[in-house]
Structure 1
Amino acid sequence: MSLIGIVTTEFGIIGILPQIANNYKLTINSAGILLSAFAMVVAIAGPFLTVLTSGVNRKKLMGVSMMIFMVTGLVSSLSPPFWLLMLVRLLPAFLHPALVSAAIGAATASSEKADAHKMMAIVIGGVGLATITTVPFATFVADLFNSWQASFMIQTVISIIAVAAIWLFLPSMPITAHKGYGTQFKILKKPLFIASSVFVFLMNAAMFTTYSYFADYLGKINNMDPKMISLMLLVFGGTGVLGNFVAGRLLSKNVSTTTVGFVAGLTIVSIPIYFSGASSPWLFILIAVWGFFHTPCFLTGQVYMIETAPEAPEFANSLSISFINLGISAGTAISGLSIAKFGIHSAPLVMLLFGGSAIICFLIREAMTNRKRRQSMISL
């Protein structure tokens, strides 16, 4: 439930971005900073706060974090000046990776190693569940009441429910074996971990070049009204849940093949998105396919990074979240610059560029892995 609250807070703004831009008299790419700045704070501050809070009881950390999400959502719903809206958007971003790491740690702590990927898939499934339920619902409510502030009220209610669920149903989870800071930071010297980090950055940049402007793109290029856009968000999220389930199963068999398979699908789908036009039956299928490949990339990217740092899994996970959000910020910002110069139709081309770069980075990382494996065999 906490992850649903996080995702609704971070990505719920995607469906109402055009309304916010209109309310504050901003261009769509300028309004996009509400998403990219959130992601940038997560990327920069997240790992350090995760390390600093790594000895804190997971229940207390998750509860306090969600209370911050709740308060900031409430303030946002009051239609504050844009500078204040930006500020309260940034506050919960500081604890975002620590909260996700704690949730994943709580879910996988008592599971067998073979089932760890499936447990991660269940937790990360909150991303897909939010994109199929709360994100489109928040967009629908905003359109129903002709008020983007209503979307933030939905986010606030979800955070309240998450806080209640954490305090009432989650057992106390004190950290019994706290790893030293030196052990955790040591993974930053591992070439394979660094290569995996760059790959995750590029992949998530590709994911959010177009998805960040989902509502504006479908409105201007595909001539969809807000109600239809809400439906398309629902379709996107629904197939994303399915994709996440499939990815969770496949990761247990082969991490690398699963990871590159989904990012390749995401990259390829940018081409028909670019050539899509006014609403038609095949557009419904296109968005369904897009969602299927998009959502699992959160999970596959995290697993791909974490497997290179088994000695510090929670810190590695927080770093993966940071590189995910660094990619979100870069993809949103660079696509925004392209939109400002060439129009909204250029977003899928930026998606194709980042996706292709991610695949090249993946191939380089795999070559490094194979070389290391050969050297280990020779030394034996």
Structure 2
Amino acid sequence: MMLPILLLSAAGFTVLTTEFIIVGLLPGIARDLAVSIPQAGLLVTLFAFTVACLGPFLTAYFARFERRKLFVSIMVLFGLANLLAAMAPNIEVMAVARLLPALALALPVFWALASEAAMDLVGAEQAGQAVAKISFGVVCATVFGIPVGALVADALGWRAAFGLLGALAFAKALLLFFFLPTIQVHSAETSLLKQFRVLRSLEMQGHVLLSVLVFCGMFTAYTYLADILERLAGFNGTVVGWCLMAFGAVGLIGNSLGGRAVDRHPLWASIGFSLFMIMGMVALIPSIHSTTALAIAMAVWGITQAALFLVSHVRLMKTAPETPAFGASLNISGANLGIGLGAIVGGHVIDNFGLGSLGYAASGFIGLSILLALVLMRGPLSEVTQV
């Protein structure tokens, strides 16, 4: 059981690094392609909105395909997209490079079906811990992928970072081809109608909205974290890279805590980690010139962000036990809708109120997610069933 999970986790590292590496490279990309930071931030929105719109449909369709061939194809696609990004002469070509993996079957299909495969290997009762192992690749993407990308960009340029990531994607494709076994396809997932039927549940709709709010809050601020550290803290590119690595490293703690908490009670887990995230976000700017205080604020934020990635994912899978991959894809769509909205909101906040206001704007969305989670816990939505 462990080898397939480790292989999928390694592939997940490449998938999530591809989506989020741009966070650490945003200042350099903006300068080189002659656009503003908010304009460059729209590259995050483009990727996220495309995944949000197409994710469930693609997952429902490709759930019938044999997993190994599907995952290998995804890795090859990511490799090609990253190589195109490395050669992009302008913002338009860069947008195409970001659009390709999102527009095709890459991110939503991989994460939904890889999470389902992990659940199949260990059983639904330990789904949180199994997906936590898959999510280890996500955490490593933030611990190593994004910050190392920033360090490579500082030393060799951001194009080198995308080129290196493309090479890694091709290497992961080979590993999956030779070592990933055949994984059983769920019979319920051969029918598109059966999968989309879960959307008729008001409880499911409420859980998707919860993911939108959580991730909108996260990425209103996180999209521009490198810019905050450069402009407000006065750090150079190397120091920013190390800060992002530390931010991701504490996410290892959050990943472990989230995997345990979500198996006990998904909604309480979401509420608890969201409360602490608000504390970290609000404290960041006032702590910007104190090394100790800044480290604490970033640690709290980093731990809770990693935990909420996992909690949100498993929460939707548990809400759709008959079609867990489709439930996971709904979380991915909701999350990416939130990510795209967050990048837009953050850009507007920067233009109108300055970088120092990002934490407060982000916390407003996280606060709304807490209120919605409390509503879902009271039961009226979960009592509504559709036949």
Whether the TM-score (by the shorter chain) exceeds 0.5 is yes
SS of equivalent residue, structure 1 residue 224:
coil
2:98 to 79, 89, 92: 89
Kindly indicate whether the alpha-carbon contact (under 8 Å) linking 1:56 and 1:174 is maintained by their aligned counterparts in 2.
no
2:93 matches 1:57: no
Determine the C-alpha separation between the residues in 1 that align with 2:122 and 2:367.
36
After TM superposition, where is structure 1 displaced by more than 6 Å over at least 4 residues in a row? none
CA RMSD of aligned residues (A): 1.7
Higher mean alpha-carbon deviation, 8-17 vs 220-229, is at 220-229
2:220 matches 1:218: no
Q: Which amino acid aligns with 1:328?
A: I
SS of equivalent residue, structure 2 residue 234:
coil
Task: State how 1:224-373 maps to structure 2 within 5 Å.
Answer: 224-368=235-379, 372=383
Partner of 2:3 in structure 1?
none
Which runs of no fewer than 5 residues in structure 1 stay unpaired?
376-380
1:210-257 alpha-carbon deviations (Å, 9 max, x no partner): 111111011111111111111111111111111111111222222222
By how many angstroms is 1:369 displaced?
Answer: 5.2
Partner of 1:69 in structure 2?
78
Partner of 2:219 in structure 1?
208
Determine the C-alpha separation between the residues in 2 that align with 1:253 and 1:309.
17
Determine the C-alpha separation between the residues in 1 that align with 2:351 and 2:70.
40
Q: Which amino acid aligns with 2:135?
A: I
Partner of 2:177 in structure 1?
167
Kindly indicate whether the alpha-carbon contact (under 8 Å) linking 1:62 and 1:102 is maintained by their aligned counterparts in 2.
no
Partner of 1:43 in structure 2?
52
2:116 to 105, 112, 124: 105
Determine the C-alpha separation between the residues in 2 that align with 1:114 and 1:368.
22
By how many angstroms is 1:175 displaced?
Answer: 2.3
SS of equivalent residue, structure 1 residue 222:
coil
Partner of 1:14 in structure 2?
23
- Using a 3 Å threshold, how does the CA distance of structure 1 residues 176 and 211 change in structure 2: closer, same or farther? closer
Q: Which amino acid aligns with 1:150?
A: A
- Using a 3 Å threshold, how does the CA distance of structure 1 residues 279 and 219 change in structure 2: closer, same or farther? farther
SS of equivalent residue, structure 1 residue 307:
helix
By how many angstroms is 1:82 displaced?
Answer: 1.5
By how many angstroms is 1:311 displaced?
Answer: 2.0
Kindly indicate whether the alpha-carbon contact (under 8 Å) linking 1:222 and 1:279 is maintained by their aligned counterparts in 2.
no
Determine the C-alpha separation between the residues in 1 that align with 2:313 and 2:382.
23
1:57-116 alpha-carbon deviations (Å, 9 max, x no partner): 011111101101000101111133221110111110132111111211222212122212
2:160 to 145, 150, 154: 150
Determine the C-alpha separation between the residues in 2 that align with 1:234 and 1:371.
40
Determine the C-alpha separation between the residues in 2 that align with 1:158 and 1:181.
33
Higher mean alpha-carbon deviation, 188-197 vs 273-282, is at 273-282
Determine the C-alpha separation between the residues in 1 that align with 2:171 and 2:322.
34
Q: Percent of pairs identical after alignment?
A: 30
- What is the TM-score normalised by the length of structure 2? 0.93
Q: Which amino acid aligns with 1:50?
A: T
Determine the C-alpha separation between the residues in 2 that align with 1:297 and 1:217.
22
1:183-228 alpha-carbon deviations (Å, 9 max, x no partner): 1111111011111111110000111111111110111111111111
Determine the C-alpha separation between the residues in 2 that align with 1:331 and 1:262.
19
Kindly indicate whether the alpha-carbon contact (under 8 Å) linking 2:206 and 2:381 is maintained by their aligned counterparts in 1.
no
Higher mean alpha-carbon deviation, 277-286 vs 89-98, is at 277-286
SS of equivalent residue, structure 2 residue 187:
coil
Determine the C-alpha separation between the residues in 2 that align with 1:58 and 1:130.
23
Determine the C-alpha separation between the residues in 2 that align with 1:109 and 1:144.
43
Determine the C-alpha separation between the residues in 2 that align with 1:362 and 1:175.
32
Kindly indicate whether the alpha-carbon contact (under 8 Å) linking 1:206 and 1:267 is maintained by their aligned counterparts in 2.
no
Q: Which amino acid aligns with 1:350?
A: A
Q: Which amino acid aligns with 1:232?
A: C
Determine the C-alpha separation between the residues in 1 that align with 2:120 and 2:323.
13
Determine the C-alpha separation between the residues in 1 that align with 2:48 and 2:88.
21
1:140 to 143, 147, 151: 151
Determine the C-alpha separation between the residues in 2 that align with 1:361 and 1:163.
40
By how many angstroms is 1:305 displaced?
Answer: 2.0
Kindly indicate whether the alpha-carbon contact (under 8 Å) linking 1:32 and 1:336 is maintained by their aligned counterparts in 2.
yes
- What is the number of equivalent residue pairs in this alignment? 373
Determine the C-alpha separation between the residues in 2 that align with 1:71 and 1:209.
29
